[in-house]
Amino acid sequence: MDLKERIFYFLSFIISLIIGLFFPLSVDSQCNGNLVIINFGDSNSDTGGYVIIRGMIGQLPKKHTINHDLAGRMCDGKLVIDFLYTIYTGFVVTVVRGKATLWLGSQLTIFCRKIILRESVKNGYLTPFMESMGKNFTNGVNFAIAGSKTLPASDSFNLKIQIAQFHRFRSLSLELFDKGNGNLLGDEDLRNALYTIDIGQNDLDGVFGGLSYEKAILKIPDFIYEIENAIKAIYEEGGKNFWVHNTGPIGCLPKSLTTYNKYKDDYDEHGCLRSLNEGAKIFNDKLYLLSEKLRDELKNTTIVYVDVYSIKYDLIANSSNYGFVNPLMACCGYGGPPYNFESNNKCGQGNYTICEDRSKYISWDGAHYTEAANAVVASKILSSNYSTPPLKFNSFCNIAP
């Protein structure tokens, strides 16, 4: 970069900073009241349940962990749900000629955006259900477990099992809350809670790995049916607010690109597998229709469908605009370019290595995103531009009188 370009960048930064201060274009999800979140899903939103069950240490070596409170996640830091849930004030991304500078130390780049994230819910991160009942669940509970699917029923922590755990938690929470336990949730908390669902990636990965494309597609309605049953079960217990994420472009994951041997013409212009992504789109289309259907069927409910697929695919397709490099390559893994993924040397196992700058990578371990990528995904979710209906996340806050 020559001197003239450096000066241009500096002046652009100063101008954009001034504009940002006086004309803030912000995504502000701050709650002025209490937001209770009850989450169901897989590793994309598991905040430690799997590690508790298996009695394992976190995937990331201690010296690489950003925050002790984030141990147990399939990530180098925060998941999307952490950004949506926790207090994270002062996160300011300022545009400089299509790029950006993240203050507070670390670097992140975002194309033509200034974002202020203020996810405001109190008392830290969403507590896994598998934690002891001595924990504080006043802000919600997380039933998500890494590896979870909607099916088969024999899966240890499929969606139906998570719903059964919710029933048990609800019953016990109400009983103890009425006896004066202030660390649990009362009836009003549970009725006004936001029930978030992010599941389906493992189902698709499983069927595409074991069946022909045609047979795999035929399984998708069964997955949607289980999600429908889950929403209805929560509704019957008084739940009325739902936040449903569709699944991402699984054909762009380093794990998928390494595992599935496809024909050359199956790769799209960005190097992703068309067939897997088409399968994800079919799943998402049916999930969208389910959301529309249930809005009509279930009285007094709000069901927000969030198009996470479009957010993540844009991140891959335009990775350099966001400051990322090697969008199809895992930061933590083994094997080097193009994907740095090997099933026998996964992140945290065997002879894996970790990239020098995690903030420049989208994929953390070949199947999950880095904190830097999750921050971008969360900011776009909070914008409500990818939501149907386009409701703000903070619209579900229970504002105290």
Taking alpha carbons only, the member of 71, 99, 300, 324 closest to residue 192 is: 300
Question: Who's near 148: CB < 8 A, 6+ residues apart?
Answer: 41, 42, 43, 46, 155, 157, 158, 159, 162, 199, 202
pLDDT tens digits for range 165-192: 999 999 999 999 999 888 899 999 999 9
**Predicted pLDDT at 101:** 37
Report yes or no: 126 and 39 within 8 Å, Cβ to Cβ: yes
* Half-sphere exposure at residue 302, Cβ-oriented, CA atoms within 13 angstroms: 18
Residues designated as active site: 43, 365, 368
**Predicted pLDDT at 258:** 95
In order of 23, 292, 393, the CA distances from 296 in angstroms are 40, 7, 21
**Predicted pLDDT at 349:** 85
Report yes or no: 311 and 377 within 8 Å, Cβ to Cβ: yes
Parse the chain into domains and list their residue ranges.
Answer: 33-74+126-315+371-396
Find residue 41's DSSP bridge partners. 198
Report yes or no: 121 and 37 within 8 Å, Cβ to Cβ: yes
**What CATH number has the domain spanning 33-74+126-315+371-396?**
3.40.50
In order of 33, 125, 141, 191, the CA distances from 177 in angstroms are 20, 21, 15, 14
Q: With b meaning 16 or more CB within 10 Å and e meaning fewer, what string describes 174-202?
A: bebbeeebeebbeeebbebbbbbbbbbbb
**Predicted pLDDT at 328:** 98
Query: Which residue ranges of the chain lie beneath pLDDT 70?
Result: 1-33, 55-71, 86-134, 261, 398-401
Report which residue type is found at 246: N
CB atoms within 10 A of CB 77: 22
Flag whether the pTM goes above 0.85. Answer: no
Calpha distance 143→161 (Å, rounded): 9
Report yes or no: 361 and 325 within 8 Å, Cβ to Cβ: yes
**Predicted pLDDT at 95:** 30
**Predicted pLDDT at 38:** 96
